[in-house]
Amino acid sequence: MKIYLDTIGCRLNQSEIETMARQFRAAGHEIVASADLADMAVVNTCAVTTEAAADSRGAIRRIARAGVEEIVATGCWATLYPKQAGDLPNVLRVVTNDRKDRLVLETLDLRPATFDIEPLVRVPLPGLHRRTRAFIKVQDGCDNRCTFCITTVARGAGRSRAVADVLLDIQSALDGGAKEVVLTGVHLGSWGYDLRSHLTELIKAIFRETDVPRLRLSSLEPWDLNADFFSLWTNPRLMPHLHLPLQSGSESTLRRMARKTTPDSFRALVAIARETIPDVAITTDIIAGFPGETEEEFAESMDFVCEMNFAGGHVFTFSPRPGTGAARMKGQVKPEVRKKRNRILREALEESAKSYRERFVGREMPVLWESTSEMGEWGWKMEGLTGNYLRVNAIAPSPRWNEVDQVRMESVFGDRLKGVIVKKG
Ligand code: SF4
């Protein structure tokens, strides 16, 4: 069969469809680049915001219109609304998150005892979801109850994947030529809590058991980290980038969010990270217009965001998700005020991100090229990432996709840097 895999939302969803691709291929099926080429499709849906849920439904309708008669809906939105998902055109199967690991076996009606669908070498997905870097799922679910979060509802209790399974996936990615592996999960920092271990041990095992050249960590909740954790960065294979969701810089707002952090503890953690990891990029997530957020709380949050001098991040306009505590809270902020606060926060983040980028003009840094586009007589336009998550453009006489080159940073150019390749490989 020709199978099309689509995903909306987070890196975890991306890593899951990559695993499904390996399993379908192991069962003798072909993964195709677009729905119009497919006999069957799987859509890994998202519910993190109202927009993401709408995008998920839109993707399913688009695939049905492209002529795919058998669609499998899975992921967070389909888990929260299985009836609605099942009513969408050509959806013949809804696989909720708790059964997602067995989706390929169930869909192909295969018996685990008679069919081994592991391990195949990772091959980047064809088409839109092609990723140079390999996202590896190490953990699922979450035991926290942040009041705005629907993911913890859709993904269930926190659970860690075994070290051996993670190592197998990483090796399959490396055998497939991946130069960078990104560890991902719903609550990555809680890996090991159910195994009497800690993420630190998993990272040490990965460095001991594989020769992954670049290892990156996805989002980490600040309360899972301490000074010891940052000593891992003595290993140059660990990318100097920490994505620490702050969500708000106001203590009282953080309390209503049920976040296990405060501005003081966040400030202290960031200070240790910057002392310990040279050039570390600290990026973040912030919610604008959380219920009850007064002008004073917003001003407090803005001051803190400016003080933290982040290297970048995302600002989300609060989106009340049915089934969360925050959706039922009094003091919902007017949508136009949420949007205005979002814009102000974005401008502040962009300003600190720009000054962070400017620090690296004139420096030579390794860059992993993720995309190439031909520019005729001028050669090839390359786009890639440094270890500290700076996006870089450069021109090369030949395509350098998935290669790591030494690049001198020449200038800041919008949200990235312009560079010159000084040494290949
Ligand atoms: S820690 Fe993250 S995944 Fe867990 S409830 Fe909070 S925001 Fe959601």
Is 296 exposed, middle or buried, given 0-12, 13-18 or 19+ CB atoms closer than 10 A? exposed
How many CA atoms lie within 13 Å of 115's alpha carbon, on the beta-carbon side? 16
Question: Which pairs count as long-range contacts for 220-224, CB under 8 Å and 24+ apart, including other chains?
Answer: 220/188, 220/189, 220/244, 221/144, 221/187, 221/189, 221/190, 221/245, 221/260, 221/261, 222/246, 222/261, 222/265, 222/266, 222/269, 223/189, 223/260, 223/261, 223/265, 224/187, 224/189, 224/190, 224/199
Name 336's Cβ contacts closer than 8 Å, sequence gap at least 6.
none
CATH classification of the domain holding 369 = 2.40.50
Please report, as a single letter, which amino acid is at residue 29.
H
Ligand 1 atom at minimal distance to the Cα of residue 142: 4
pLDDT of residue 119: 57
Ligand 1: residue of 80, 142, 191 to mutate (most ligand atoms within 8 A of CB) is 142
The two structure tokens encoding residue 189: 């920092």
Please report, as a single letter, which amino acid is at residue 106.
E
Contact 305, 348 (CB under 8 A): yes
Helix (H, G, I), strand (E, B) or coil at 129: helix
Quote the CA–CA distance of 96 and 82 in Å, as a whole number.
8
Measured CA to CA in angstroms, residue 146 lies from 208, 302, 314 at distances of: 35, 21, 18
In a domain, 163, yes or no: no
Ligand 1: residue of 221, 248, 319 to mutate (most ligand atoms within 8 A of CB) is 221
Residue 411: how many CB atoms within 10 A of its CB?
Answer: 11
Q: Give the residues surrounding ligand 1 with Cβ less than 6 Å away.
A: 142, 144-146, 149, 151-152, 186-187, 221
Ligand 1 atom at minimal distance to the Cα of residue 258: 6
In a domain, 103, yes or no: yes
In a domain, 378, yes or no: yes
Domain end call among 82, 115, 148:
115
Domain end call among 115, 140, 174:
115
Ligand 1 atom at minimal distance to the Cα of residue 155: 3
Measured CA to CA in angstroms, residue 76 lies from 94, 204, 286 at distances of: 11, 31, 21
Quote the CA–CA distance of 44 and 209 in Å, as a whole number.
31
Q: Which domain holds residue 368?
A: 364-423
Distance 57 CA to ligand 1 centre (A): 24
Measured over all CA atoms, what is the biggest interatomic distance in the chain, rounded to whole angstroms?
63
In a domain, 166, yes or no: no
CATH classification of the domain holding 65 = 3.40.50.12160
Distance 245 CA to ligand 1 centre (A): 10
The residue nearest atom 1 of ligand 1, judged by CA position, is 144
The residue nearest atom 6 of ligand 1, judged by CA position, is 146
Q: What is the pLDDT along the chain (425 residues), one digit of tens a residue?
A: 999 999 999 999 999 999 999 999 989 999 999 999 999 999 999 999 999 999 999 999 999 999 999 999 999 999 999 999 999 999 999 999 999 999 999 998 887 665 565 557 888 888 887 888 999 999 999 999 999 999 999 999 999 999 999 999 999 999 999 999 999 999 999 999 999 999 999 999 999 999 999 999 999 999 999 889 999 999 999 999 999 999 999 999 999 999 999 999 999 999 999 999 999 999 999 999 999 999 999 999 999 999 999 999 999 999 999 999 999 999 999 999 999 999 999 999 999 999 999 999 999 999 999 998 888 887 899 999 999 999 999 999 899 999 999 999 999 999 999 999 999 98
In a domain, 128, yes or no: no
Domain end call among 96, 115, 134:
115
Quote the CA–CA distance of 77 and 56 in Å, as a whole number.
8
Ligand 1 atom at minimal distance to the Cα of residue 143: 4
Residue the block writes with tokens 């702050």: 246
Number of domains into which the chain is organized: 2
Distance 186 CA to ligand 1 centre (A): 7
In a domain, 214, yes or no: no
pLDDT of residue 130: 81
Helices assigned H by DSSP within 139-198: 151-155, 163-175
Distance 351 CA to ligand 1 centre (A): 27
Name 165's Cβ contacts closer than 8 Å, sequence gap at least 6.
none
Distance 320 CA to ligand 1 centre (A): 15
In a domain, 60, yes or no: yes
Give the pTM: 0.95
The residue nearest atom 2 of ligand 1, judged by CA position, is 187
Distance 313 CA to ligand 1 centre (A): 17
In a domain, 32, yes or no: yes
Residue the block writes with tokens 């729905």: 35
Contact 30, 1 (CB under 8 A): yes
pLDDT of residue 211: 97
